[in-house]
A and B are shown apart, each in its own frame.
Chain A
Amino acid sequence: MKVVETRPDGKEAVLTDFSEINSLIDTYYAGRRDCLINILHAAQSIYGFLPAELQRFIADKLDIPVSEVSGVVSFYSFFSMKRRGKHTIRVCLGTACYVRGGKKLVDHLRKSLKIEIGDTTADGLFTFEIARCIGACGLAPAMMIDDDVYQQVAPARLDSILAKYKDEKGVEKA
């Protein structure tokens, strides 16, 4: 089962077949329907996102309607049906961060990345999201890139923070 996806940069990417999630469902979750959320998490971490074909595959595998699977995927903001970037930026907009200028960070990132919340940059490097409190209220305004937390971020610092991740890409290219 091969799936071709058109990436934001217009190139076509072949998603590998679903054998990995297939065997995971069999061995680890024993095909249990009540493990749907765990299975979706596993699938998203393997494939990066949950396209319709993958959701249908999981629905067939667990013998549940795909409308139930898509209901769960569309309910939780952590699940994404869009291809995600290499890194995920999450700006905290919990109460403390909001008051201390989280909104300014969001505005700045929207301009500098040229994307809206929930989207992925054209080069596939960043997915930009907001978070509802990451539990770092004392460090407000805070943001996360992947698993790294950045504290007391000022808009002026953003570019240098992002540059670190852009450099990585450069290194990879070389």
Chain B
Amino acid sequence: MVHLTINGKDISAEEGVTIFEAAKQNSITIPSLCNFENIHSIGSCRICVVEVEGAKTLQASCVTPVREGMVVHTNSKIVRDARKVLYELLLSDHDTDCLFCNRNQHCELQRLGRQLGIYESRFEGQRSERRIDASVSITRDLSKCVLCRRCVTVCNDIQQVGILNPQNRGFKTVIGPSFDLPIGSDSCSFCGQCTVVCPVGALKETDSTQAVWDAINDKTKRVVVQVAPAVRVAIGELFSYPAGTSCTGKLASALKELGFDDVFDTDWAADLTIMEEGTEFLDRAKKALTGKHTVLPMITSCSPGWIKYVENHFPDSLDHLSTCKSPHTMLGAVVKSYYAEKIGVDPKDIVVVSVMPCTAKKFEIRRPEMMNGGYPNVDEVITTRELAEMIKSAGIDFDSLTESSFHKPLGLSSGAAIIFGVTGGVMEAALRTVYELVTGRELPFENLHVTPIVGLEQIKEASIKFENVLPEFDYLEDFEVRIAVTNGLAGAKILMEQVEDGTSPYHFIEVMGCPGGCITGGGQPRSKDTDIRKKRMKATYEEDESLPIRKSHENPAIIEFYNEFLGKPNGHLSHELLHTSYTKRGLYNELTNERYVIDAAEHAIPKTFDHLSKVRPSGEETEDYSSQVLELKAKNAKLREELEDTLETVEVFRRIIVDMHGSNR
């Protein structure tokens, strides 16, 4: 333990912790901006500076470790003044059109300004040019960027994709892809983790709420909405519920209030995915065990960011991916075929909206593969954050909503589907079904949880042996399925390198592109709670355990759907509607012409806001005025110099006169 004094208070802290952490543990808050606990501490913004007695300069508390006997002041005048100047300098190159910013009122820079008590910005100078780079999934607004580099850490160190990095130098520095490429044409996986950590409005999901409002207001359209499993355990946070509160019932009610015609559950399609994917795996295993050609390990395909990552980084290994579409595109395909027929509506008049914890899903629905009969499976994707905005903007009081259930027939789901939202969940759901199909017995784990693959570790593995199988699966007798589960693209990279080298020991791999799985996806509420993953994961498993049906193949809605429409899993119709293929892209998209850039003009600031810029003194006037001042100052300096010279000369003459006078005497 190290003993130190902060603001006159004697405290002790563990060796190695920073001043910032030690202060926090003792209920002293140091204002900060770039620091993000457990993720990113590089001291780039300097807002968290503190005075350390004996140190020459102020120290950034988020990177300065505590030392024995240290005396720290976090709130002295020099510190307060320094923070103020630092903040104002940040603002001097920040586009302060807050009213039109997506982060208005939940912006960390705004909050910091209030915290520091800043009501003016004294520094006016050159400003970075406004540049908006919109892709179908993520939009960058460089005039808002404060160069905190949280996104750089997330993109390079956590996800290890390395799309965002500082480019250029000094005032011209921007955080962006190589060669100033638009992000939609680079090999970004669109995981959106950068949008979760961005403190300001520089990185965000590309807005789809307007398109959804337009669809709802279009009376000729039947608007179908569906919600992903991870949304229900997180959206409550945006309505002041504690993290880890499950809001399924209220969520369904809110969607009905918003005016959607059908409120379905992506969980239904998750159960469908298990039927298809489980069958696909058994098929591949059978081929492998009977000496036929097949590709193992099979890898799950529910996470579109992960899919794009493989297409960019491992384009020669696409046949390892399950051919199953992701659950929400499956549901979209079913709505525009089975359900359209059932309700007698032309699929062209149906708009499918997906509420997803994900930014990559916005990209996924624009893929040419995700279409059937000329119609996209899903028309719009909004994130959890966007849905909360819509609910607030519609004036719906989320808290007072009564709970309701999803509409039939695509609204009933099992517990297995709920856990699709958390790392390990897809695999567990698949095993619950596959094991029982093969052996006729329940998966031999307490409470059906495959404990080795539950948790937040980067790579988890397990193996399960099939014994005493049913006669039709005799080829699987004594077969030990080796499985691996990973969350986050850095872990996926490790597993994929094994696959490429041919050293992968696994038969079945689950990958979710975001660390923790969908519960902390790129479209989820931003949270600084370091336990956020655990809380949302707990809520997910609780919801699973609370349901009467816990296995996908026992979902009566799924059984009925197969009887009525598809026939059997992996049948002809399944392949047409629910399975897909992938595109080789290559690390620099050199293998494809597909790009996902949105024309910047579409996202330009509307002309109607032009008058606002005129409120500020226009550039020309300022220049005139400042040049006059400069001219006068220069004249003044010159006159002073002349005066000094003259005085000097007078002094010299005076001395000469005195000397001469003296010598004469």
Which residues in A have some Cβ–Cβ distance to B below 8 Å? 52, 55-56, 60, 64-71, 74-76, 81
Contact = CB atoms under 8 A, between A and B. Distances in A.
Given A64-B162, A65-B162, A75 B169 contact: yes
Contacts of B163: 65, 67
Contact of B164 (A55, A67, A76): A67
B177 interface: yes
Contacts of B588: 56, 66
A66 B164 CA distance: 10
B64 interface: no
Nearest to B161: A65
A68 B166 CA distance: 8
A65 B169 CA distance: 18
Contacts of B176: 67
B208 interface: no
B160 to A, nearest CB: 9
Contact of B165 (A52, A71, A76): A71
15 contacts: A52-B178, A55-B179, A56-B178, A56-B587, A65-B156, A65-B162, A67-B162, A67-B164, A67-B178, A68-B162, A70-B179, A71-B167, A71-B178, A75-B168, A76-B169
Contacts of A70: 165, 167, 178-179
A60 B178 CA distance: 14
Interface string B170-192: 00000011110000000000000
A70 B163 CA distance: 11
Q: Which of A68, A69, A76 is most buried by chain B, counting CB atoms within 10 A of its CB?
A: A68
Q: Which of A64, A68, A71 is most buried by chain B, counting CB atoms within 10 A of its CB?
A: A71
A74 B177 contact: no
Interface of B: 156, 161-169, 176-179, 587-588
B332 to A, nearest CB: 34
A66 B165 CA distance: 9
A76 B167 CA distance: 10
Contact of A65 (B165, B168, B179): B165
Q: Which of A55, A60, A69, A75 is most buried by chain B, counting CB atoms within 10 A of its CB?
A: A75
Given A67-B163, A67-B176, A75-B169, 18 more contacts: A55-B179, A56-B587, A56-B588, A60-B587, A64-B162, A65-B161, A65-B163, A65-B178, A66-B162, A67-B164, A67-B165, A68-B165, A70-B179, A71-B165, A74-B167, A74-B168, A75-B168, A76-B169
A70 B156 CA distance: 14
A56 B179 CA distance: 11
A71 B179 CA distance: 9
Given A56-B588, A60-B587, A66 B169 contact: no
B166 A71 contact: yes
Nearest to A76: B169
Nearest to B176: A67
A74 B169 contact: yes
Contacts of A81: 179
A51 B587 CA distance: 17
Q: Which of A55, A60, A74 is most buried by chain B, counting CB atoms within 10 A of its CB?
A: A74
A68 B156 CA distance: 9
A69 B178 contact: yes
A60 to B, nearest CB: 7
B170 to A, nearest CB: 9
Contacts of B156: 65, 68
Contacts of B179: 52, 55, 70, 81
Q: Which 3 A-B pairs have the closest CB atoms?
A: A65-B162, A70-B178, A67-B165
A55 B178 contact: yes
A144 to B, nearest CB: 22
Say whether chain B's binding surface is mostly helix, strand, loop, or mixed.
loop
Contacts of B177: 67
Q: Which of B167, B176, B587 is most buried by chain A, counting CB atoms within 10 A of its CB?
A: B167
A117 to B, nearest CB: 15
Nearest to A81: B179
Nearest to B587: A60
A40 B588 CA distance: 20
B587 A67 contact: no
Contacts of A65: 156, 161-163, 165, 178
A150 B156 CA distance: 46
Nearest to B160: A65
B276 to A, nearest CB: 35
Nearest to B174: A74
Contacts of B162: 64-68
Nearest to B162: A65
Contacts of A67: 162-165, 167, 176-178
Contacts of B168: 74-75
Contacts of A56: 178, 587-588
Contacts of B164: 67
A75 B167 CA distance: 7
A70 B162 CA distance: 12
A76 B168 CA distance: 8
B158 to A, nearest CB: 13
Q: Which of A64, A67, A70, A74 is most buried by chain B, counting CB atoms within 10 A of its CB?
A: A67
Contacts of A60: 587
A65 B156 CA distance: 8
Contacts of A69: 178
A75 B156 CA distance: 18
B138 to A, nearest CB: 15
A140 to B, nearest CB: 24
A55 B164 CA distance: 16
Nearest to B165: A67
Contacts of B167: 67, 70-71, 74
Contacts of A66: 162, 178, 588
Contacts of A52: 178-179
A67 B166 CA distance: 8
A75 B174 CA distance: 11
Nearest to A60: B587
A133 to B, nearest CB: 17
B655 to A, nearest CB: 33
Contacts of B161: 65
Nearest to A59: B178
A4 to B, nearest CB: 15
Nearest to A53: B588
A155 to B, nearest CB: 26
Q: Which of B161, B164, B165, B588 is most buried by chain A, counting CB atoms within 10 A of its CB?
A: B165
Contacts of B165: 65, 67-68, 70-71
Nearest to A56: B588
Q: Which of A55, A65, A69 is most buried by chain B, counting CB atoms within 10 A of its CB?
A: A65
A135 to B, nearest CB: 22
Contacts of A71: 165-167, 178
Nearest to A70: B178
A78 to B, nearest CB: 12
A100 B178 CA distance: 40
B325 to A, nearest CB: 30
A96 B261 CA distance: 76
A56 B590 CA distance: 12
B70 to A, nearest CB: 33
Contacts of A76: 169
B42 to A, nearest CB: 15
Nearest to B172: A74
A2 to B, nearest CB: 14
